[in-house]
Structure 1
């Protein structure tokens, strides 16, 4: 199955998500946050850098929980905005 290429807006949304997660992580290590969320540090690294702009819902939910973020806030702050 071939995946449809992402639009520039979708890429930007993924970059915004990555920045939000990185800011929320603060001084905690990537490894620590990833372990609490039950994902690999490499997955978190890809999300934070925008290399994985469309992470799975349950991955985002686990990260939000680990970082004390509300899903509503993430949705609002990462809403698709035309570039």
Structure 2
């Protein structure tokens, strides 16, 4: 099966996912988080930098569980919904 090329929206959503996971990781090392959730450091690095715009669901679920992030929050944040992830402070009105 040939996979259709990703759209610019798909790539941006992958970058957003990576940013959110990186922010949620905070001061924890990438090595520590990768070991705890059972993924390679290289895989986590690629997800956090957006080089893997569509990571496997179970990989994202493992990282999210390790970082104590709701998958619902991740989906909402990656789709640009008005919902704020619970681990971030609310945006200030401009």
Relative to the length of structure 1, the TM-score reads 0.92
- 1:2 deviates by 3.1
The root-mean-square deviation of aligned C-alpha atoms, in Å, is 1.4
User: How many Å separate the matches in 2 of 1:29 and 1:47?
Assistant: 15
| More helix by percentage | 1
Structure 1 unaligned residues grouped into runs of 5+: none
Give unmatched runs, 5+ long, in structure 2.
Answer: 82-94
Aligned length: 81
Q: CA deviation at 1:80?
A: 6.8
Asked which structure has the greater CA Rg, the reply is 2
- Equivalence for 2:2: 2
In structure 1, what is the equivalent of residue 50 of structure 2?
Answer: 50
Partner of 2:65: 65
Higher relative CO (CA 8 A, sep ≥ 6), structure 1 or 2?
A: 1
